[in-house]
Structure 1
Amino acid sequence: MATLQEITDRIKGAVGDDSGLGKSLKFDLKDAGVIHIDGGSVTNEDKPADLTMTLSLDDLLAIGAGSLDPTMAVMTGKLKLSDMGAAMALQPKMGALFAKMR
């Protein structure tokens, strides 16, 4: 299984100079830590974000690999969103970001 640092590095590579999200995003990976994306900055700092997605590291990897559908993850409680409106607005851009991580 990948470590938090390995996943953070993969996201940094996918984000490059600018995530293109237009908003800050935080993956709250529970006991594994956090990944915060804001523009071209990708850190493990636990700071406020426009959208916080709470899920396990395993589920983040599954979504990134395309084996877990994000909508299904929300419906089954595996993925919790702090702001559904922001999540809906970011969905296409996050899909592109996940595709770069594969």
Structure 2
Amino acid sequence: MSDIVNAAVSALADKLAGDSFDGSAKFVIEGEGAIIIDGDGVRASDDDADVTMTADADTFQSILEGDLNPTAAFMSGKLSIDGDMGQAMKLGGVLA
């Protein structure tokens, strides 16, 4: 597993601050790996999820740091979403 994925798991866990996420979402960081967020928390995994969001490492980092709004990333084509858009929007609220 890459250092980028490990750092992202830690950052996402901090953002959730112990709250559980109702449903499941997967972040795929191109060339690095995947992260699952669900009722069990945050972990590095490539399991199936209700929604899959894919971005490069720079875009993902910018979203985590609050420099890039997830909706803006999607609208500009930097973030692709496959699956339940409602889950993606709910997660976007957590990340904002």
TM-score normalised per structure 2: 0.79
Ranges of 4+ aligned residues in structure 1 off by more than 6 Å: none
Q: Which has the higher strand share?
A: 2
Pairing 1:1-102 to 2, within 5 Å after superposition:
3-19=4-20, 21-83=21-83, 84-88=85-89, 90-91=90-91, 94-96=92-94, 98-99=95-96
Uncovered stretches (5+) of structure 1, i.e. residues with no partner:
none
| Whole-Å separation in 1 of the counterparts to 2:86 and 2:41 | 23
Q: Compute the displacement of 1:7 (Å).
A: 1.6
Q: Which has the higher helix share?
A: 1
Q: Greater CA deviation, 50-59 or 4-13?
A: 4-13
What residue identity is the alignment partner of 1:67? D
Count of residue pairs the alignment pairs up: 93
Tell me the C-alpha RMSD between the 2 structures. 2.0
What residue identity is the alignment partner of 1:3? I
**Same amino acid, percent of matched pairs:** 37
User: Are residues 14 and 67 of structure 1, via their aligned partners in 2, closer, same or farther at CA, if it must alter by over 3 Å?
Assistant: closer
After superposition, the C-alpha distances for 1:10-53 in whole angstroms (9 at most, x for unaligned) are 2223335443x311010011111111111133221101001111
Is this contact kept in 2: 1:17–1:39, CA < 8 A? no
Is this contact kept in 1: 2:53–2:82, CA < 8 A? yes
After superposition, the C-alpha distances for 1:42-93 in whole angstroms (9 at most, x for unaligned) are 22110100111111121111112222122221122110011324323x15xx
TM-score normalised per structure 1: 0.75
